[in-house]
Amino acid sequence: MHAERSPGPGRNRDRLRPGLYLVLTEPRDGYEILAELAVRAGLPAVQLRYKGDDQRHHVALARELRTITRGSSTLFIVNDRPDIALMVEADGVHIGQEDLPAEAVRRLIGDNMLLGLSTHSLEQVSAARSEPVDYIGFGPIYPTTSKAKPDPVIGPDLLSEAGRISAHPIVAIGGLTLKRLAHLDLQACRNIAIISEVAQAENPGEKMSALHTRFIEWRGSRI
């Protein structure tokens, strides 16, 4: 059994609840609509993962999603950009292995904002044990089309080992679908991060609710 881990002592940050962590990258139906559906579904978190070059548009999107999520149970996370996260008073920021070091980002954002870190190997999971982060992303578990240059596929088998050695809650990511949840060690992760499975769904609201509910049910039944 994998133990639930809580935030470090003396920190006021909201905990990331178990469930579907929705990542928004150019969703077909628009960022705002999917964010509204996520709030309605009670998802734990929505991450803005904007990859365009229009910085003013990036900030405007972040402000809009912050307005939509403010006061709800859905946390708002900004990908890559601690400066924008601070500008819009987001709940957190998520960084990658090639972004600013986690320690520098933590100093910048303070103790009240969530900080997530992407990891793509067991070595990186182990190295993250000493980083001032609140959770780690682990993947890609399966092949994904959400990145122009995706990291090498890890496969579902390593998720259990990552859960064993990680000092932080894990968000599993990469090509995850409703069917593939049945093949994952759901006790090894607190959340599943989904992009295309929701963004390309005929009914995104129904799909995100189904993924969130099924994950919670299956995770609980396997304890």
Q: What is the pLDDT along the chain (223 residues), one digit of tens a residue?
A: 454 444 444 454 568 999 999 999 999 999 999 999 999 999 999 999 999 999 999 999 999 999 999 999 999 999 999 999 999 999 999 999 999 999 999 999 999 999 999 999 999 999 999 999 999 999 999 998 766 677 889 999 999 999 999 999 999 999 999 999 988 999 999 999 999 999 999 999 999 999 999 999 988 865 4
Is-catalytic flag, 147? yes
Structural domains in the chain, sorted by start:
19-221 (3.20.20.70)
Is-catalytic flag, 118? yes
Among residues 81, 106, 118, 166, the one annotated as catalytic is: 118
Q: Which residues are annotated as a binding site?
A: 47-51, 79-80, 99, 118, 144-147, 175, 195-196
Q: Distance between CA 145 and CA 48 in Å, rounded?
A: 17
Among residues 28, 107, 147, 222, the one annotated as catalytic is: 147
Is-catalytic flag, 6? no
Q: Give the pair of three-digit tokens for residue 206.
A: 């129904």
- Which residue is it, tokens 């259990």? 160
Q: Is the dihedral of CA 215, 51, 132, 70 positive or negative?
A: negative
Q: What pTM, to 2 d.p., does this model score?
A: 0.92
Number of Cβ atoms within 10 Å of the Cβ of 156: 17
Q: Which phi and psi (to 5°) does residue 2 adopt?
A: -100, 125
Number of Cβ atoms within 10 Å of the Cβ of 64: 15
The reported pLDDT for the residue numbered 7 is 46
